Chain A
Amino acid sequence: MKQFTAEMPSVGPARGTPLETALSRSWKRLAPGWPLANLIAVNPLQGFEALPFEEALAQAEAAFSGPGLPEPMQQVNRESIKWLQVFFDEGQALLPLPQKEKGLYASWRALAPWDARLRRRVSEERLQAWPETPEAALRQGLQELDLPEAEWERFFTLLLTTLPGWAAYLKYRVEWAPDSASFGSPASLTDFLAFRLSLTVLLWPEAARLLQWHEDRQQVVDPRPVLDRLQQNEAAYQAALLQELQAASPAPDAPPAAQLAFCIDVRSEPFRRALESCGAYQTLGVAGFFGVPVAFQKDGTRTPSCPVLLQPQQEVPLVPQGPEVQQQDRQRGYAQLETLKHLYQSLKQAFTTPFALAEALGGWMGGWMAVKTWAPALAQALKQGWTGAIQPPLPVEPDLSGLTLEVRSQYAEQALRAMGLTDHFAPLVVFCGHRSTSTNNAQASSLDCGACGGRPGGENAQVLAALLNQADVRGALAARGLVIPDTTWFLGAEHNTTTDVVTLLPHALPEAWAEAVADLQADLKQAGALNRRWRAAQLGTRPSELVQHRAADWSEVCPEWGLARNAAFLVAPRALSQPLNLQGRVFLHSYDWRKDEAGTWLEGILTAPMVVAQWINAQYLFSTLHNGLYGSGSKVTHNVTGRVGLMQGNASDLLQGLARQSVFVDDVHAYHEPVRLLTVVEAPRRVVDRVVEQHTLLQKLLANGWIHLACLDPEARQTYTLTRQLHWQTCLG
C-alpha cells in the first residue's frame, strides 16, 4: 500500500559549516504559510513541536514579537515590509520592483544604494561596499554584530520570528509550492536571512541587543493561565466524549438504499447525521480527495487537488460536455469575458486613462454597488444571468482517457479500501466532496477542503465515481478480490458547507437508477434543511439566510463557522458513532480494525489525515488563544497585498492564521473552544501500539502533548488513554 507521510521535508543537511547549521536550524522554527489562493491550515507553532507543549507555548510567545519590540527593530521591520511587499507581488502593481527576477537579495543589494530611507542612516559608500552575495552578507553582518557562534542560531531565529508572516510565505514557496520555479521573483531561505540581517545591521548597529530583549521576554511570558483553561476544556470534553462512545450501542446493520462517503471534515458529521435520519443511508468518512491525487486543468489553469503532503501524480483535464456548437459558444463567451476584464484592467492600470474610466464606470458601479448591498441575492442572480448569457454554462466532466488502466484501478481500489467499503455495496454509492461559497472573502479558500489542498473537492469525487463505473476498472478490481456488483452505480456529489445544498455532479446515469437517485435527491434536500436549522442556531440567524445571504453578501465576514469547535478525530466504523450527536466537533474516519490486523490502514490514517486534522486543530486553537499573534486579526482592516496575502491596514507583517471573525462571535466571546485534538481509535491496543512505535512523528506529538490519544479496545472492552510517557491508562467511564 502506498501511503503518504507527513514527515517534514528537510531543510538541507544539518551538517555543514556553523553558518549553514545556524541557518537551517533557525528556519525549522517557522511553520510555512500558504497564499490566499489555497489557505492550508498549519500549526503556527510547528517549529516548536519538538518541545513539550507547555514549554513551546512559552518559547513561541517570547520569540514571536509582540508589543515591546525595540524601536530600531521596528524600523527594520518597516523597511523589510516595504521591500518584501513589492518583491513578493504577484501582479498587483503594473510596474514591478526592478531586477526582482535576479532574486531577493540581489535585487535589494542592487537598489539599496539609492534608497533614500536607508541613506538617512547609512552612507552611500557603505551601501556600495556591502557584500554582493547573500553568503558574504551573512558573514559580514555576523562579524559586525560581533556575535559568538553559539548565538547565531538564536539571532537568525529572532530575525525570522520578529517578522514571521513574510518568512512563512517564503518557506511555503521554497518547500511546498507545487512549481516554485514559476515565480517571477526567485528567493531562497539564505536570501531572506541575508536580506534581513543586512537591513538589521545597517539600520541598527547595536542589534545584538535583540538577544537581550528575547531573554527579557522569556522571563515575562507566562502561559499558565492559558494552559489551565485549556486543560479544563479538554478534561471536560474528553470525559464526556469517551463516556458517550463507551455507552453507545452500535446502530443495527440494515441494508442501505445508498452509501455516501463524505470528507472527514468536521462539517460532514452533522450533515451525515441529518441524512441518516431521512432514510436508510449508510455514510462513510474518508479524506475528501477520495484517494485521487491529481491536478485538474481547465481554461488554461492547472490546479493540484490533493493533500499538500502529496504531489499530484496525474493531470486530468476538465472538459465541458455538449454538442460542438455549444462548446464553441462557450469558448467564444469565455474569450469575450476575458477581453472585458482585459479592457477594464488596461484602462485602470495605466497612466491618465483611469481619469476617464472612473467617470465612465462611476454610474454603473454606483448602481451595482446599491444592488449588491441592498439585495445581495438579486445581485448574485443577475451576475449569474449575464455571465451565463455571454458564456453559456455547460456540464463539466473529467477526461480520464489519459490515465492507464493500472493507475485507474489502483486509485479505485485504494479509495474503496481506505473507506472500508469492500463488500455489501448498496445500489447507489455517492462520493461527496465539499466546497464553501462566499463573496468578497479574501480568506475564502480556508473554508474549502483541506484534503484537496484548500480547494473544492467535488471534482475528485467525480473522478472516483467515473472510474468505478468503468467496466475495465471493475474487471481489474474483481481480479483482486474486490467485486462490485452490476447492480451498483457510483456518482460524485458536492456538499456546499455554506448553504448545505448538495449537488449531484454531471455523470451518465442509466435508467435503472433514476428512481433511486430521485429519492436520494429529495432526502439530500431534506437533510440540508435539517442541517441548516442547526447551523443557523449556531450562527445566531435564520435558516433561510444561510441560503440567500451568507454566501452571496459581499459584506459578510462570517459566511459559515468552518471547522470552528473541532475537537476530536474518531477512527472507527460509523455504526459506533451513529447514535451520537457529536455537535459537528469530530473528524470521522471510517475504519474497521477487523479488516486491518496488520495495522497498515491505521498507520496510513494516523500519519496522514490525522496530521492534517492536527494542523487544522492547532490553527483554530492558536488563532483563538491569541488572535493578534497567531491569527490574522480583524477582517475589518484587512488589506490584500501582492494578490498572495493579507496585511493589517497601511502595512504590516503578512498575516497568517484565521481572522477574529472566523473564531470569535464578537470582540470578546470566542466561538471556537480551544482544545488540543483528541484522537480516538477503535482497535485493540496492540494494533495502535505498533503504529505509534513505528513513527517518531506520532511519538513526538503524543509525548509532547500536542495531541491526545484514546483507544477503545474492543477485545478488552475497555477505554484507554495514552499518557505523555506513552503508557496506556485505563479511563474510568
Chain B
Amino acid sequence: MELAILASWVHLDGLGGVMGGLVGFIGLIVGRFAWKYLRGDRSQKPFYRRLLMLMGTLGVLVTANHLLLFWGAWVLSNILLVQLMVPHPQWRAARASGVLAGKNFLIGALALGLGFLLLADVTGQTSIQAILNTPGAGSRSTLALALLALAAWTQSALWPFHRWLLSSLNSPTPVSALMHAGLINGGGFLFARFAPLYLETSALLLALFVGGLLTAWLGTFWKLLQSDVKRMLACSTMGQMGFMIMQVALGLIPAAVAHLFWHGLFKAYLFLSSGSAAQEKKAPAPAAGSRWVWLWAGLGGGLASFSFAQMTGKTLAADTTFFLLVIAGLAGLQVALTLLTDLHGTRIFGALLLTGGFGAVYGVSVAAIESLLAPLNLMQPQPLHPLHGVGLVLLLGSWWGARLLASTKELPRWYQRLYLWGLNASQPAPPTVTAYRSLERTTPSFT
C-alpha cells in the first residue's frame, strides 16, 4: 500500500536515469570547475547553495510521477536557474537577462500548470504513468498536450521563445554550461515523458515538426553570423534544440533524447573552454572540389549513413528514420570532403575509412541511449509526410547555400538583406547589453 502511494509520486525508468545521469555528471563537473573559477567572487557560496538545490530539484523532476511534484520541481528549478544567472543584481544588464528569462519561464510554468490541470481533469488521474495508460483522446486532451508543448517551447528556447537564451550570456560561464547541458533540455524531457500521448496525435506532431525545423534553421543560420563565442554557442544550442524537437516530431523519441544528452555534454565543454576561443583555428574556406572529389565524398556520405544505420539497427524504410540516415549521410559527405581536400586526393581509402568510422561513432552514441530507453517503447517512426521532405530539402539546400556564400565575394543583394535581418534578429535584448563602461558590480573600491 505504502509502495503504491510512493509509486504514484515517484517513477524510476530509463528516461529518468538518462536525464538524471546527464544532470548529475554536469553538476559534478561544473561544481568542481567553479571551485577555482569563482574564487574570490562574492557569489561563490550562493552558487554552491543554489547548485546543490538545483541538483535536488532536477533529481525530483526526472523521477516525479505526480503532476504536482513534477510541476513544483519544474518551477523551482527554473527559479534557481534565474538566481544562478544573476549572481550580481547590481549589474543592470545581467538583471535584465534574469527578468527576461524569468518572464519566459513564467509563461512555461503557467502553460504547464494549466495543461496538467486539464490532463488531470480529463483522465481523472494525477500520476503521470496512470495518465499515459488512460486512453483519453479528445479535443480537451489535445489542448492539454498543446499547453504542455508550449511549456516545452519556452523551456527549450524554441522560436519564438528563443530570446531569453540569446540574452542569457551575462551569466557566469559555469552557469551557461549548466544551462545548456541541463535545463534547456527540459522541453525535450517533457515531450519524452508524455511521448505516448503525443505519438497518438499526428497533427500535433506535424506542427511540432514545423516549429522544430524553423528553430533549427534560424538557430543555425544565426550561429554562422555571430562573431562572439558565447552568443554563437547560444544560437547553436537553439538550432540543436530545434533539431531535437524535429526528432520528437518524427516519432523518434529515443533519438531525440540521445541528441539532447550528447549535445549537452558537447555544449557544456564548449562553454567551459570558451576562454580559448581566440586561439582556435579558423574554419577553412569551403573547398570547391573537383567532380572526382565530390564523387568520392558522396560515396563517403553513403558509407557514413550505412555504418550509422548498422550501429543503430535502422533499415532503409519509407518512414521517418530515413530522415536521420540522410543527416548522417550529409555529415559523412562533409567529413569526406574535408579529408579529401586536405589530402589533395591521396589516400582516398583512408579518408573513406575515417568517414565510415565517423558514421559508426555517431551511430554508437545514438544506439547507447536508445538501448537504455528501449523498454519504454518510444521508438515509433511515423509515415513520411510531404512536410518532412520539405524539411530535408531545406536543411540540405542550406548546407549547400552556406558553403556557396562563405566562398563568394560578390554577395547578392537579397543575401545582404537577409544577413542584416539575421544579425538584428539574433541580437540580445537591448536592456541586456552593457552599453557603458564601469559595470556596477565589478568596481571593488580601492579607497
Q: Could you tell me if B259 and A358 are in contact, using CB atoms closer than 8 angstroms?
A: yes
Taking residues whose C-beta sits less than 8 angstroms from the other chain, chain B's interface range is 35 or more
B428 with A650: CB separation less than 8 A: yes
Write the nearest CB–CB distance from A334 to chain B, whole angstroms: 12
Chain A residues with CB under 8 Å of B403's CB are 350
A357 near B275: Cβ-Cβ < 8 Å: no
> Cβ of A92 and Cβ of B402 under 8 Å apart?
no
Task: Select one of A351, A648, A667 contacting B395, CB under 8 A.
Answer: A351
What residues of B have a CB within 8 angstroms of the CB of A164 in the complex? 437
Q: How far is the CB of B36 from chain A (nearest CB, A)?
A: 4
Q: Which residues of A contact B228 (CB under 8 A)?
A: 85, 92, 639-642, 647, 651
- In the complex, whether B125 has a CB less than 8 A from a CB of chain A is no
Contacts of B274 in A (CB 8 A): 639-640
Cα–Cα distance between A557 and B296 once the two chains are bound (Å): 47
Task: Flag the segment in A125-133, A359-367, A396-404, A473-481 that touches B.
Answer: A359-367
Which residues of chain B come closer than 8 Å to A117, judged between CB atoms? Answer: 424, 427
- Please provide the chain A residues from 78 to 131 with a CB less than 8 Å away from any CB of chain B in the complex: 78, 81-82, 85-86, 88-89, 91-95, 97-99, 110-111, 114-117
- A281 close to B (CB within 8 Å): no
Asked if B430 lies at the interface with its beta carbon under 8 angstroms from chain A, I say yes
Q: Are B365 and A351 in contact (CB under 8 A)?
A: no
Of the stretches B115-123, B194-202, B264-272, the one at the interface is B264-272
Is B37 in contact with A649, judged by CB distance below 8 angstroms? no
Contact check, A369 vs B272: say whether CB atoms are below 8 A apart. yes
| Other-chain residue from A350, A361, A440, A626 in contact with B402 (beta carbon distance below 8 A) | A350
Is B290 part of the contact surface with A, judged by Cβ < 8 Å? no
User: B421–A116 contact, CB under 8 A?
Assistant: yes
Knowing A345-B283, A356-B327 are in contact, say whether A650-B447 is a contact too (CB < 8 A).
no
Decide if A162 is an interface residue (CB 8 Å cutoff).
Answer: yes
Whether the pair B278, A37 counts as a contact (CB closer than 8 A) is yes
For the complex, what is the distance from the CA of A363 to the CA of B367, rounded to whole Å? 12
Which residues of chain B in 408-447 are interfacial with respect to chain A, using CB atoms and an 8 Å cutoff?
Answer: 411, 415-417, 419-421, 423-424, 427-428, 430, 432-447
Q: Which residue of B lies closest to A94 (CB)?
A: B224
A86 / chain B contacts, CB cutoff of 8 Å: 225, 227, 423
Minimum distance in angstroms from A619 CB to a CB of chain B: 15
Q: Is the CB of A74 within 8 A of B275?
A: no
Alpha-carbon gap, A631 to B266, bound state (A): 32
* Residues of chain B contacted by A505 (CB below 8 angstroms): none
Asked if B335 lies at the interface with its beta carbon under 8 angstroms from chain A, I say yes
Partner of A667, one of B42, B171, B272, B435: B42
Q: Would you give the 0/1 interface string for B322-366, flagging 1 where the beta carbon is closer than 8 Å to chain A?
A: 000001101100110111001100000000000000100110011
Contacts of A148 in B (CB 8 A): none
What is the CA–CA distance of A501 and B368 in the complex, to the nearest angstrom? 45
Task: Say yes or no: A93 contacts B225, CB within 8 Å.
Answer: yes
Residue from A67, A357, A360, A374 with most neighbouring chain B CB atoms (10 Å): A360
Contact of A94 among B25, B34, B281, B402 (CB under 8 A): B402
Q: Is the CB of B331 within 8 A of A356?
A: yes
Q: Are B365 and A363 interface neighbours, CB within 8 A?
A: yes
Asked whether A652 is an interface residue with its Cβ less than 8 Å from the other chain, the reply is yes
Q: Any chain B CB within 8 A of the CB of A355?
A: yes
Does B77 interact with chain A (Cβ within 8 Å)? no
Q: In the complex, what distance in Å separates the CA atom of A95 from the CA atom of B398?
A: 13
Q: Which of chain A's residues has its CB closest to B33's CB? A: A555
Beta-carbon contact of B365 and A362 below 8 Å: yes
A182 lies within 8 A of chain B by Cβ: no
In angstroms, how far is the closest chain B Cβ from the Cβ of A228? 8
Task: For chain B, residues 245 to 284, give those with C-beta under 8 angstroms from any C-beta of chain A.
Answer: 258-259, 261-270, 272-278, 280-284
Given contacts A362-B365, A366-B269, A555-B272, contact A653 B330 (CB under 8 A): no
Is the C-beta of A661 less than 8 angstroms from some C-beta in chain B? yes
On whether the beta carbons of A99 and B278 are closer than 8 Å, the reply is: no
Decide: B447 and A352 in contact? CB cutoff 8 A.
no
In the complex, are the beta carbons of A354 and B438 less than 8 A apart? no
Q: Interface code A439-453, partner B: CB below 8 Å = 1, 0 otherwise? A: 111100000000000
Q: A78-B433, A355-B243, A633-B439 are in contact. Are A347 and B416 (CB under 8 A)?
A: no
Instruction: Identify which of A188-196, A336-344, A708-716 touches chain B.
Output: A336-344
Do B424 and A115 touch (CB < 8 A)?
yes
Residue of A115, A359, A651 touching B263 (CB-CB under 8 A): A359
Q: In the assembled complex, which residues on chain A have CB atoms less than 8 Å from the CB atom of B263?
A: 358-359, 362
Knowing A362-B265, A651-B428, the reply to whether A627 touches B444 (Cβ < 8 A) is: yes
Flag if A66 contacts B436 (CB, 8 Å).
yes
A339 touches B343 (CB 8 A): yes
Complex: A628 Cα to B253 Cα, angstroms: 47
Indicate whether A670 reaches chain B with its CB closer than 8 angstroms.
yes
Given contacts A365-B265, A440-B273, contact A352 B396 (CB under 8 A): yes
Task: Report A-chain residues with C-beta under 8 Å of the C-beta of B25.
Answer: 366, 370
CA–CA, A95 and B94, complex, Å: 28
Closest A residue to B246 by CB, please name it: A355
Contact across chains for A82 and B283 when beta carbons are under 8 A apart? no
Contact across chains for A95 and B224 when beta carbons are under 8 A apart = yes
Neighbouring A residues of B268 by C-beta, 8 Å: 365-366, 369
Q: State which of B97, B225, B342 has its C-beta within 8 Å of the C-beta of A650.
A: B97
A406 to chain B, nearest CB (A): 38
In the complex, A648 Cα to B432 Cα: how many Å? 11
The answer to whether B265 and A366 touch across the interface, beta carbons within 8 angstroms, is yes
Task: Using known A-B contacts A369-B268, A442-B276, determine if residue A641 contacts B327 with beta carbons closer than 8 Å.
Answer: no
Q: Give the one of B38, B423, B441 with max A CB within 10 A.
A: B423
Q: Using Cβ atoms and an 8 Å threshold, which residues of chain A touch B35?
A: 555
State whether B172 touches A338 (Cβ < 8 A): no
Question: Which candidate, B106-114, B139-147, B182-190, B232-240, is the interface stretch facing chain A?
Answer: B232-240
In the bound assembly, the distance between CA atoms of A647 and B430 in angstroms comes to 15
Q: Contacts A75-B430, A348-B283, A667-B40 known; list 17 others, CB within 8 Å.
A: A37-B278, A116-B420, A339-B339, A339-B342, A346-B334, A350-B224, A352-B398, A356-B362, A366-B265, A440-B275, A555-B33, A555-B36, A636-B41, A636-B172, A637-B94, A642-B228, A651-B428
Q: Which 3 A-B pairs have the closest CB atoms?
A: A362-B262, A666-B40, A649-B170
